């Protein structure tokens, strides 16, 4: 009969010790160097976690929910990094996994080498691969150019979560504790191309206004106390400066340059493809040439749609496998994009997962800049 109260007491004690981790970390920053801080944190985390867990073979990434206004409650915010999502698995070696489970380690050898410097036996880290411009802003076009040319030396890994750490599965721990430990870990060694995604301490609308003025995509919010569920559970949200999402390329209209406009589509709730309008603005001559070459190899005789739109221009339909990212002013009542601007191809996103994001109102409409 006494086991129950003792168990509750132990759990309460562990919770109190976990909640004191940030205070300990802040105290140590005043007196100890990074390596000593990490050693103490390792001992602290292992002691609080109890028994160790087997190293996970794979981890599903936490997904972000688009919202048009900051949610109620206690949240912490970061920059929305405009790059490629990447999970770093550090065990006997380092493996860099894309959001869709593709091994990109060979494409990012310098990042794998730097992550190998971390003084740990095993870890899973979540982050984003980016290219930063002269003002340290993410530059997605430059990122794609770097991969296209094989010039990956300027690619950086911005880490924002720690999921597993030396035998301890941290996914059930609050996000703020995981990020505190990640920051200590990354500070323990000098790395040129790996950095921590700092928490932005300000009102989210003011943060969003500043992000938009700087030309960033927006901000990401994470609910304090939330675990890493590996799904879209609403504990991570994104507020964007403009409407922006991925579309499936269904075909194109002909022009003297090869492509006049791209025909866009999405998956409806029933899984059927539906037409979502077209985009021509934002396409450079080089992008048109690359797209035309790829789309010619995907041409088909009939549209991949159950309901075919009436398009006056000469149209070429293609297999719906390529994905592009587009920003736009709004969706019409008929579900078509208005004032669409092409951003980039997204070879890291499978067409099977592309549907209308739940938020169709830009968060920018809530602020005045």
**Structural domain ending residue among the three candidates 187, 211, 240:** 240
Confidence at residue 336, expressed as pLDDT on a 0 to 100 scale: 92
Same domain as 215, residue 273: no
Same domain as 248, residue 209: no
CATH of the domain at 272: 2.40.50.140
> For residue 105, is it within any domain?
no
319-356 tens-digit pLDDT = 999 999 999 888 888 889 988 999 999 988 899 989 98
Collect contacts of 333-340 with beta carbons under 8 A, ≥24 apart.
335/274, 335/275, 335/276, 336/275, 336/276, 336/277, 337/247, 337/264, 337/276, 337/277, 337/278, 337/279, 338/277, 339/281, 340/264, 340/277, 340/278, 340/279, 340/281
Confidence at residue 77, expressed as pLDDT on a 0 to 100 scale: 97
Distance of alpha carbon 149 from alpha carbon 162, whole angstroms: 31
Same domain as 232, residue 340: no
CATH of the domain at 70: 3.30.1490.70
CA 312 to chain centre: 38
Same domain as 266, residue 232: no
256-310 tens-digit pLDDT = 888 999 999 999 989 999 999 999 999 999 899 999 999 999 999 999 998 999 9
Q: Which of 14, 51, 80, 334 is catalytic?
A: 80
Confidence at residue 135, expressed as pLDDT on a 0 to 100 scale: 77
Domain range holding 209? 63-81+200-240
> For residue 74, is it within any domain?
yes
**Catalytic status, residue 310:** no
3-state secondary structure of 303: coil
Residue 214 pLDDT grade (very low, low, confident, very high; cuts 50, 70, 90): confident
> For residue 95, is it within any domain?
no
Tokens of 253: 């209209």
Confidence at residue 242, expressed as pLDDT on a 0 to 100 scale: 80
Count how many domains the chain has: 3
Distance of alpha carbon 11 from alpha carbon 16, whole angstroms: 9
Same domain as 322, residue 232: no
DSSP H helices in 65-132: 109-116
């Amino acid at each position: 009969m006494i086991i129950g109260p003792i168990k509750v007491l132990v759990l309460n004690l562990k919770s109190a010790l976990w909640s004191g981790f940030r205070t300990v970390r802040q105290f140590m920053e005043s007196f100890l160097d990074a390596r000593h801080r990490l050693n103490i944190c390792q001992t602290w985390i292992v002691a609080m976690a109890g028994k160790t867990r087997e190293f996970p073979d794979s981890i599903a990434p936490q997904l972000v929910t688009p919202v048009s206004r900051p949610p109620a409650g206690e949240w912490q915010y970061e920059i929305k990094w405009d790059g490629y999502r990447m999970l770093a698995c550090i065990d006997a070696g380092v493996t860099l996994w894309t959001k869709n489970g593709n091994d990109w380690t060979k494409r990012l050898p310098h990042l794998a080498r730097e992550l190998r410097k971390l003084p740990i036996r095993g870890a899973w880290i979540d982050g984003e691969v980016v290219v930063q411009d002269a003002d340290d802003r993410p530059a997605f076009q430059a990122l794609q150019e770097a991969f296209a040319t094989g010039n990956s030396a300027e690619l950086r890994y911005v880490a924002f979560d720690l999921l597993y750490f030396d035998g301890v599965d941290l996914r059930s721990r609050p996000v703020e504790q995981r990020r505190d430990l990640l920051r200590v870990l990354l500070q323990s060694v000098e790395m040129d191309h790996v950095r921590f995604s700092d928490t932005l301490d300000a009102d989210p609308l003011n943060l969003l206004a500043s992000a938009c003025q700087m030309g960033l995509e927006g901000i990401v919010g994470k609910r304090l106390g939330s675990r890493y569920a590996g799904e879209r559970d609403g504990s991570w949200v994104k507020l964007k400066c403009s409407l922006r999402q991925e579309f499936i390329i269904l075909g194109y209209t002909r022009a003297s340059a090869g492509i006049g406009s791209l025909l866009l589509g999405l998956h409806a709730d029933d899984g059927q493809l539906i037409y979502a309008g077209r985009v021509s603005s934002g396409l450079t001559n080089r992008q048109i040439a690359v797209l035309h070459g790829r789309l010619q190899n995907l041409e088909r005789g009939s549209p991949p749609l159950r309901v075919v739109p009436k398009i006056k221009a000469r149209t070429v339909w293609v297999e719906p496998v390529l994905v592009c990212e587009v920003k736009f002013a709004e969706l019409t009542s008929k579900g078509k994009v208005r004032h669409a601007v092409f951003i980039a191809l997204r070879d890291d996103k499978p067409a099977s997962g592309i549907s209308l994001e739940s938020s169709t109102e830009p968060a920018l409409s809530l602020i005045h800049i």
